[in-house]
């Protein structure tokens, strides 16, 4: 998603090193903020007290967060501290957007960090099953492409 951004005058705040690198390589002149903390190699993200304190002091127009799994209204991840960091980003945002490919639906993981009821919009790929799409629309608005 970040590789396809074409908006001007964005400030991107992330705790993800891969997202930061993608945004940095975008030809637009974005203001980039990389939030530090403990580094989790498997996800390429920073988490923990340092990240949480930084993120908690900021406010966002939109938060885009990924997940390891979605099971009914539960949003799940593999790591408790990483989930807490994601929750702070969502809580401090005016609009909460979840990004999840079709393989994340009906998939459980270790830690529930948020509820799909509290997400404003979910973005997924077009190949998602119509039945799965219909079921999860009871929790939030879903779209299968990014127009903006």
The per-residue pLDDT for 84 is 97
| Residue 136 structure tokens | 């999860």
C-alpha 43/C-alpha 16 separation (Å) is 8
- What 8-state DSSP symbol labels residue 139? T
pLDDT number for residue 148: 52
pLDDT at res. 135: 98
pTM for the model stands at 0.94
> Mean pLDDT for each 10-residue chunk of the chain (148 residues)?
87 96 91 96 95 97 97 97 96 98 98 98 96 98 81
Look at residue 145 in the predicted model and tell me its pLDDT: 79
Instruction: Return d(Cα 120, Cα 7) in angstroms, integer.
Output: 21
Sequence-distant (≥ 6) Cβ neighbours of residue 116 within 8 angstroms = 70, 72, 73, 74, 75, 98, 122, 136, 139, 140
């Amino acid at each position: 998603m970040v590789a396809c951004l074409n908006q001007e005058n964005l400030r991107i705040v992330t705790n993800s090193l891969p997202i930061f690198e993608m945004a940095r390589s975008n030809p637009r002149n974005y203001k980039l903020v990389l939030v530090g903390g403990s580094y989790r190699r498997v996800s390429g993200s920073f988490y923990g007290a340092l990240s949480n304190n930084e993120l908690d002091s900021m406010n966002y127009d939109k938060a885009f967060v990924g997940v390891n799994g979605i099971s009914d209204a539960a949003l799940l991840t593999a790591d408790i501290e990483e989930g807490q960091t994601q929750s702070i980003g969502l809580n401090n945002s005016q609009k909460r957007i979840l990004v999840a490919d079709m393989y994340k639906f009906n998939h459980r993981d270790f830690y529930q960090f948020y509820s799909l009821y509290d997400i404003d919009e979910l973005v997924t790929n077009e190949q998602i099953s119509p039945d799965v799409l219909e079921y999860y629309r009871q929790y939030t608005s879903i779209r299968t492409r990014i127009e903006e």
